[in-house]
């Protein structure tokens, strides 16, 4: 697992200077020198930046800025590719043109050597692949930035796939995350327009997600939970896993011989019922979200296989979403308020599923929501696409400087993806209509006697605990007041920047004093005519003047580079 404890500690980035320089070099290469200048990275990598070519590639000028960002992320490697894929689902953070480009990120890399795979398998199981399996294909089926997949056969004849984590990938990711955290801190410090988006919080969220993705024991437990969720449901098939053969770096699961959901032509030629498959996929996705609150977060066509009998099989459980009961109810409230055309309730419901740093202009927010409802509310359901509606909601949220909770983003992305797959299979699919029974169920479950009794019991217990702790807490407060140990914390913004300016000034003054002393000392040496001499001038004095000249030139360059004389 990747450690998050030191994430964001700037001092650690010095230990990874070579990798940091490589990242900066790629940014220069793709024409992002303006970003590097705005972040003042030269303060931390001053020596390294002077050694880097700042000129972009000649072909870069023909590309748009979003295209250059995508290409830079792909060249930086797996961590940055995964970050780009995360950002492609966050329209509150980046503009639409960047979103569209980042969805094209390619997570394909050359496979690592079979000998390295053998070492990993032996470290994890004390056996080589040939000893662990009856047959093992040395050529990978696929190779990605985190892992690669091989086909194998067990002693009992069962066909399986073996997913193996790339060697040393956790160390690579740890270094990259520390660099990303440093860059995020600089963004919060120097880019005022990004401060409300909390770049460091985004990096922390990304680090947690990536840490879960590279631990295959978590994926294995997700598959086991997913299997229990749909036990007895004939419309879905979940691949079998083999815990006894799996570990943190290896995952062994059943080989699935099905047809990809995107292969519409092959499905049609084999007499599959495409509209039925589309409805089943939508129903299964909404059951995961609204009933279980545990769902496949990446249901793109490559992760959905169709088996005989129009049975749907999900694969690749590395990215899973979780939605609490409270979040599910809040989202349902917002959707029902939207359908009911009540802008006041929609505004209130939207604020429950978002966070904000500044005071919200409720009147402007209600007005924009009313305009959006006018756009969709009176159109036939057949003309409505959930993905388009959600995109407009996300745009509205971003304009009002709100931020959806991360779990909500994952859920909305999953719903939009599965709707896209469904429309590919059946253009008449109405996801909003299919969602109604699940929304109704959440509403009615809230009023069941058992649920009301449980909530009343929880509230009563919480108040009883509060009442029991009140005398002790009050006594502690009074004791602190009496002993003068009560602390008030004042935060004065801008002091950190002022401190850095003063620190830079004091360094320059000290530098100037040393420079002046060196010039005066060298002059006294020259006047005293102390040997040895060169052309009747004391050599020590000449050396002093040369050093003073270099120091003076260095000081002048530093002042010019920072834009102030």
* Residue the block writes with tokens 């099989």: 313
> CA–CA separation, 445 vs 332, rounded Å?
12
Work out whether strand 236-237 and strand 311-314 pair parallel, antiparallel, or are unpaired: parallel
- Is residue 21 reached through a cis peptide bond, with omega within 30 degrees of 0 on the bond before it? no
What are the start-end ranges of the H helices in 484-538? Answer: 495-528
In eight-state DSSP terms, residue 290 is I
* Residue the block writes with tokens 């080989």: 255
> CA–CA separation, 132 vs 171, rounded Å?
27
The string of DSSP codes covering 25-74 is HHHHHTT-HHHHHHHTGGGTSHHHHHTS--PPPGGGGGS-HHHHHHHHHH
Q: List C-alpha distances in Å: 227 to 313, 418, 484, 486.
A: 11, 20, 58, 53
> CA–CA separation, 293 vs 536, rounded Å?
88
> CA–CA separation, 342 vs 274, rounded Å?
37
* CA-based radius of gyration for the chain: 31
Q: Is the distance from CB of 425 to CB of 260 less than 8 angstroms?
A: no
Q: Is 260 exposed, middle or buried (0-12, 13-18, 19+ CB in 10 A)?
A: middle
Long-range contacts of 458-466 (CB under 8 A, 24+ apart): none
Closest among 280, 282, 317, 315 to 297, alpha carbons compared: 317
* 3-class state of residue 198 by DSSP: coil
CB atoms within 10 A of CB 466: 10
Vertex 441: Cα angle to 346 and 461 (nearest 5): 85
* 3-class state of residue 248 by DSSP: coil
* 3-class state of residue 237 by DSSP: strand
> CA–CA separation, 453 vs 461, rounded Å?
12
Active site residue 529: no
Dihedral sign for Cα 373, 374, 376, 378, please: positive
Provide the token pair at 291. 């009933």
> CA–CA separation, 102 vs 60, rounded Å?
17
Please report which helix (H) or strand (E) contains residue 311, including its range.
strand 311-314
* 3-class state of residue 317 by DSSP: coil
Choosing from 298, 327, 368, 426, which is the catalytic residue? Answer: 298
- For the annotated catalytic residues, the residue numbers are 298
């Amino acid at each position: 697992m990747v450690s998050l404890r030191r994430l964001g500690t700037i001092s650690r980035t010095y230990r990874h200077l070579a990798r940091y320089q490589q990242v900066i070099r790629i940014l220069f290469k793709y024409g992002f020198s303006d970003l590097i200048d705005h972040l003042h990275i030269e303060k931390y990598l001053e020596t390294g930046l002077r050694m880097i070519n700042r000129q972009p590639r000649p072909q870069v000028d023909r590309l748009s800025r979003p295209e250059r960002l995508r290409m830079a992320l792909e060249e930086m490697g797996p961590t940055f590719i995964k970050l780009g894929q995360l950002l492609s689902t966050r329209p509150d953070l980046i503009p639409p043109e960047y979103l569209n480009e980042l969805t094209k990120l390619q997570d394909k890399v050359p496979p690592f050597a079979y000998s390295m795979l053998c070492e990993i398998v032996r470290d994890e199981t004390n056996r080589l692949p040939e000893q662990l399996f009856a047959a093992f294909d040395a050529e990978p089926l696929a190779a990605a930035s985190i892992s690669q997949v091989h086909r194998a056969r067990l002693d009992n004849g069962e066909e399986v796939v073996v997913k193996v984590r790339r060697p040393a990938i956790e160390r690579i990711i740890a270094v990259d995350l520390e660099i990303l955290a440093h860059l995020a801190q600089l963004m919060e410090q120097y880019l005022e327009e990004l401060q409300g988006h909390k770049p460091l919080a985004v990096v922390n969220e990304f680090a947690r997600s990536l840490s879960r993705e590279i631990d295959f024991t978590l994926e294995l437990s997700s598959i086991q939970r997913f299997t229990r969720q749909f036990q007895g449901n004939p419309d879905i098939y979940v691949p079998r896993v083999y815990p006894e053969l799996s570990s943190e770096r290896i995952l062994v699961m059943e080989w699935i011989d099905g047809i990809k959901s995107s292969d519409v032509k092959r499905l049609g030629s084999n007499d599959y019922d495409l509209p039925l498959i589309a409805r089943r996929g939508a129903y299964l996705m909404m059951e995961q979200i609204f009933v279980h609150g545990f769902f496949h977060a990446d249901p793109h066509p490559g992760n959905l296989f169709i088996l005989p009998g129009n049975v749907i099989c999900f694969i690749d459980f590395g990215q899973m979403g979780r939605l609490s009961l409270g979040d599910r109810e809040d989202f349902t409230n917002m959707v029902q308020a939207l359908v009911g055309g009540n802008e006041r309730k929609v505004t209130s419901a939207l604020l429950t599923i978002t966070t904000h740093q500044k005071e919200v202009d409720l009147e402007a927010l209600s007005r924009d929501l009313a305009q959006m409802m006018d756009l969709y509310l009176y159109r036939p359901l057949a003309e409505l696409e959930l993905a388009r509606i959600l995109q407009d909601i996300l745009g509205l949220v971003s304009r009002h400087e709100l931020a959806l909770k991360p779990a909500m983003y994952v859920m909305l992305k999953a719903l939009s993806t599965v709707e896209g797959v469904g429309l590919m299979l059946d253009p008449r699919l109405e996801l909003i209509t299919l969602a109604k029974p699940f929304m109704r169920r959440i509403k009615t479950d809230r009023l069941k006697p058992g649920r009301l009794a449980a909530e009343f019991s929880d509230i009563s217990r919480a108040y009883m605990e509060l009442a029991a702790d009140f005398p002790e807490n009050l006594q502690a407060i009074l004791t602190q007041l009496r002993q003068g140990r009560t602390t008030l914390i004042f935060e004065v913004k801008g002091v950190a920047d002022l401190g850095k300016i003063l620190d830079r000034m004091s360094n320059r003054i000290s530098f100037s004093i040393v420079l002046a002393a060196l010039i005066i000392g060298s002059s006294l040496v020259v006047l005293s005519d102390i040997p040895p001499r060169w052309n009747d001038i004391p050599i020590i004095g000449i050396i002093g003047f040369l050093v003073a000249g270099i120091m003076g030139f260095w000081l002048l360059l530093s002042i010019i580079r920072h834009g102030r004389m």
